[in-house]
Amino acid sequence: MIDEGAERKPTSLSLKWNLSALALIASAGGAGVAAAATPDEAGGGITVDVQGQYNLSDNHDLSTFGDTGPFLLQDNPTLHPGTGYDLAGTVSYQAPGSDLSYSVGVRYGRTNTSGKSFHTAYDTKYSFSRSGRASHTQEHLFVDFNVGKDVGMGIWGPGVSTVGGGIRYAHLSSLTRGSFATSSKYISRAGSFRINRRNDAVGPRIFVQQTSFLPGSMGQSGFSIGWGGGVGVLFGRQTVSAINTFTEDEGSLYNAFPGGSRSHNVTSPDVDAFFQLGFTPPHTGLTIGAGYRFEEVFNALDGGYSVRSQQDFVQQGPYVDVSIHFK
């Protein structure tokens, strides 16, 4: 069975429900960027925001096997999450004459499958060799319920500055699988493996964001900049489940690979930020934007095999955003 050891890997930076506390940021990727009214328009209404993001590959070892794993020896192959995408949608409402807004947002994303083949041979009297292939993919889901308060105008006058808080549910998961074979003068072993990892959490969040129309004729034409940022913490529960299937197993070397599962509560700090350039044609409720978003969830997943090894979730990349405001 998988050991419950608490060995940790230092982190740099993730469907059952659990509780969590303190903040994730309402960013363009999660809660959407609230579209500001053009300089000659104001008032409440409903805003529908749709966003698509291209996520760059993550160089963190989210799928490292840690200890010996199913491959034997200490130098097991390490996989990095590949590139991917996010799709997000947000609906917000603000009553006419009120400085409070309410929104519900959903963001889903996944990575492309990354893979690695390996072969190692040791020139000893035992003629040891090993080979195989491993692949990795991950996905995430965030659901946000937010309340914001407009606390002022933009940097150069027209615009919206918002601070607020809310509740976020987060689901982070990954799947690592592949095949392997080892052989020596006296022992041989072959088989396949499958490792599922996940983290589910829900909790409060705080955020700040601003949309400011550019000064002069650029702003009157509808050009704006938007930015936002925040920090927080999720309290969730991580689970790991490993299944090994041996198609060939001769000898007793490294017998301790039965697979198994474990789970534990975890605290996952988070940081999030975005920057956007937008264009709102005058006298319309349409805003088209393009920007860049970064997010890191610390201790997102348990990346170990038979011992615990905390790994981070990092997501960053360019996005496009379309908002429509209905009065």
**Residue 217 in 3-state DSSP?**
helix
The confidence score (pLDDT) of residue 256 equals 43
The confidence score (pLDDT) of residue 19 equals 32
* Sign of the torsion formed by the C-alpha atoms of 12, 13, 19 and 22: positive
Rounded CA-CA distance 212/21 in Å is 31
- Digit-coded pLDDT (tens) for 190-249: 888 888 999 999 999 999 999 999 998 898 899 999 999 888 899 999 999 888 777 766
Rounded CA-CA distance 208/327 in Å is 24
Which string of DSSP letters, residue by residue, matches 55-99?
EPPP-S-TT---SSGGG-SS---------EEEEEEEEEEE-TT-S
Over the chain (327 residues), what is each successive 10-residue block's mean pLDDT? 42 35 35 43 81 83 46 57 92 92 95 81 68 86 93 81 93 87 75 88 93 90 92 92 74 52 91 94 92 93 79 92 93
For residue 275, the tally of other CB atoms under 10 A from its CB is 14
The confidence score (pLDDT) of residue 37 equals 46
C-beta of residue 166 within 8 angstroms of C-beta of residue 147: yes
Fold of 45-326: Lipocalin (2.40.128)
Residue 297 tokens read as 């969830």
Share of the chain above pLDDT 70, in %: 74
Model's pTM, two decimal places?
0.79
117 strand-pairing partners: 133
The confidence score (pLDDT) of residue 249 equals 61
